[in-house]
Amino acid sequence: MGSLTATRRAGASVPSRLFRVAHASFPCRFDLTSRRRACIYPNVGFQIQLCLFEKLGRDIDAVDAVVADGAFDISGEIAVSIRKTLENAEEQLENMFDDESLADDAQRWTDFGYFVQNCREYLGHVDVGLPLDLLNMAEDVARKLQNLDQVFDGEGVATAGRVGRVLAVWHELQAGMARSVDALPRVDAGYASALDRDLETSSAKRRKTG
């Protein structure tokens, strides 16, 4: 376990180091790293924070100002990221009924699986206050993925089924924490990602008035 943890930490540092020294976006650096080592998948929260750092021109003072102003909420950002991923999975499922060749496309489900496994490992036992409707959505997607082999055959279907089982486990863990008497308050389901908004930071205001 110790060596596995060390590998994950070392792997997570690779895209962040490339990000600091290369003039390219985090998604580009992450894609390059993943193509060389597919097992590298930094936890979702870390990826989101790197994206915020990039959005604000790699200005750590600007990041601190946005966080201090309450414009960036990591639990809300994680919820948005999970919701977008589940929506993409549902779209992939719907497309399969129009194009049955997708039943043999395992890569899309493998990529989705990395995300789901990441959530299972890093958020499996951590309550981040995910909205109840999002947990219901995760349960529904997990069920659809596990039942996909009743309609289609193919390598992609088999991979989707495995991903669905992992997603179901993660959902049960999160749902259990949400039902707990000491559960955290739920994230506002209407939270809009700071990565999709214009952020007027305190440091930017000071530069304008300086």
Tokens of 197: 């908004």
Q: Identify whether the C-beta of residue 103 lies closer than 8 Å to the C-beta of residue 157.
A: yes
Average pLDDT over residues 5-20: 44
pLDDT band at 29 (very low <50, low <70, confident <90, very high): very low
Buried b (16+ CB within 10 A) or exposed e, 153-177: ebebbbbbebbbebbbebbebbbeb
Query: Tens digit of pLDDT for each residue in 67-104?
Result: 888 889 999 999 999 999 999 999 999 999 999 889 99
pLDDT band at 38 (very low <50, low <70, confident <90, very high): low
Tokens of 24: 């390219």
Residue 39 has pLDDT above 70, yes or no: no
pLDDT for the residue 90? 96
More confident residue, 99 or 40: 99
Give the closest residue to 175 by CA, choosing from 113, 119, 132: 132
Average pLDDT over residues 129-156: 96
Tokens of 52: 């915020």
Give the closest residue to 180 by CA, choosing from 123, 127, 134: 127
Q: What is the DSSP letter of 69?
A: T
Give the closest residue to 53 by CA, choosing from 77, 76, 20: 20
Mean pLDDT is lowest, of 28-42, 51-65, 191-205, for 28-42
Mean pLDDT is lowest, of 50-59, 149-158, 187-196, for 50-59
pLDDT for the residue 6? 40
Tokens of 40: 């590298």
pLDDT for the residue 1? 35
Q: Which amino acid is at 140?
A: D
In terms of phi and psi (left: phi > 0; alpha: psi -120 to 50; beta: otherwise), the region of 158 is alpha
Tokens of 14: 């690779």
